[in-house]
A and B are shown apart, each in its own frame.
Chain A
Amino acid sequence: MSLASRETEEMAVRDVINQTLDEEMERDERVYIQGIDVHGRGGTSNILKGLDEKYGRERVRNTPISEVSIVGSALGAAATGMRPVVEIMYCGFLGVAGDQLLNQVAKMRYMFGGKLDLPLVIRTKNVMGANAAAQHSQALHHWLAAIPGLKVVCTSTPEDTKGLFKAAIRSNDPIMLFEHGSVYNETGQVPVEDYTFEIGEAAVEREGEDVTVVATQAQLWNALEAAEQLGEEGISVEVVNPRTISPLDTETIAASARKTGRCVVVDDTPLSYGTQSQIAADVSEEAFFDLDFPVQRLGIPDVPTPFSPSLENEILIDTDDIVDAILTLA
Chain B
Amino acid sequence: MSEQADQRAQPTDEERVEMLETMLRIREFESRMRDNFADAEIPGFLHLYIGQEAMATGVCQVLEDRDYLTSTHRGHGHCIARGLDTTKMAAEIYGKETGYCNGKGGSMHIADVEAGMLGANGIVAGGVPIATGAALSSKMRGTDQVAVAFFGDGALSEGAFHESFNQAAIWDLPLIGIVENNQYGEMSGIDEQHPPSTHDDLTIYGEPYGAHREQVDGMDVEAVYDAAARAVERARHGEGPSLVECVGYRFEGHHEGDSEFYRDDGEYEHWKSKDPVETYPERLIDEGVLTADEWAAMQADVETEIDEAIEFARESPMPDPQQAYEGLYADGGDSR
Contact = CB atoms under 8 A, between A and B. Distances in A.
Interface centre among A92, A96, A308 (most CB of B within 10 A): A308
Contacts of B187: 37, 40-41
A52 B43 CA distance: 31
B301 interface: no
Please give me the 5 A-B residue pairs with the lowest Cβ-Cβ distance, nearest first: A308-B103, A307-B106, A308-B95, A64-B157, A314-B321
14 contacts: A36-B185, A65-B154, A65-B155, A65-B158, A132-B45, A134-B104, A134-B105, A301-B335, A303-B328, A306-B324, A307-B44, A307-B95, A307-B106, A311-B321
Contact of B336 (A68, A130, A272, A306): A272
B185 to A, nearest CB: 5
Interface residues of B, number: 46
Contacts of B155: 65
A50 to B, nearest CB: 14
Contacts of A307: 43-44, 95, 101, 103-106, 109
Nearest to A68: B159
A62 interface: yes
Nearest to A61: B192
A311 B319 contact: yes
Contacts of A65: 124-125, 154-155, 157-158, 185, 193
A215 B191 CA distance: 44
A13 to B, nearest CB: 21
A309 B335 contact: no
A231 B71 CA distance: 52
Contact of A62 (B104, B159, B192, B328): B192
B336 A310 contact: no
B336 A311 contact: no
A292 to B, nearest CB: 26
Nearest to A70: B157
B335 A134 contact: no
A133 interface: yes
Contacts of A37: 186-188
A68 B163 CA distance: 13
Interface in B1-48: 43-45
